Amino acid sequence: MLNEPVQALSIGCVVESSLENRSWRDAIRAVTRRIADARGDADSPLSVNVVFHVPGRTLKPEFDGVRTGRYSKANQLLMVQVAVPELVPEDPDEYLLDAVSAAIAEAEDWAQRRGLGSDLGVLRAIVSRA
């Protein structure tokens, strides 16, 4: 990760490697590709890294919904964590894209409260193209 450029919107996940989680892993991988393709070289005043937390046998998110995580002032990068349900919905891609939108809204609120600029329309546009 050293010397890698910070992307305006990126996706990550915390998930056990198990057969039960394969559907979530596959869906997250697909949405990650869609976001990367739609992102191009977009620039945003605040970059957001959305990290999906997938429940498993031994690893369970300690929260529900969406919450902010770490912020890197040097990179102007905020991590937003999303706990996904154990049961995969009928359309996991749509669920994940909606969750990314919710994460962007959370980041926007977080930035407003700290006076860091609140217009993350560039990120919402990436999701709408994905």
pLDDT at 2 exceeding the cut of 70: no
Q: How far apart are CA 63 and CA 65, in angstroms?
A: 7
Q: What's the mean pLDDT in 36-52?
A: 94
Q: Which amino acid is it at 45?
A: P
Q: pLDDT above 90 covers what percent of the chain?
A: 77
Q: How far apart are CA 60 and CA 67, in angstroms?
A: 15
What is the per-residue pLDDT across 111-127, written as a single tens digit (0 to 9) for each?
Answer: 999 987 668 999 999 99
pLDDT band at residue 63 under the 50/70/90 scheme: very high
How high is the pLDDT of residue 8?
Answer: 95
Query: Mean pLDDT score of the chain, rounded to an integer?
Result: 92
Q: Which residue has the higher pLDDT, 3 or 35?
A: 35
What is the per-residue pLDDT across 95-115, written as a single tens digit (0 to 9) for each?
Answer: 999 999 999 999 999 999 998
DSSP bridge partners of 53: 14, 83
pLDDT at 1 exceeding the cut of 70: no
How high is the pLDDT of residue 59?
Answer: 85
Q: What's the mean pLDDT in 35-63?
A: 93
Q: What's the mean pLDDT in 61-85?
A: 95
Angle in degrees, 0-180, between the axes of helices 92-114 and 22-39, rounded to the nearest 10: 60
Structural domain boundaries of the chain?
Answer: 9-129
Separation in Å, CA 93 to CA 55, 60, 118: 17, 21, 26
**Burial class (CB within 10 angstroms; exposed 0-12, middle 13-18, buried 19+) of 116:** middle
Please count the other Cβ atoms lying within 10 Å of the Cβ belonging to residue 14: 13
How high is the pLDDT of residue 20?
Answer: 79
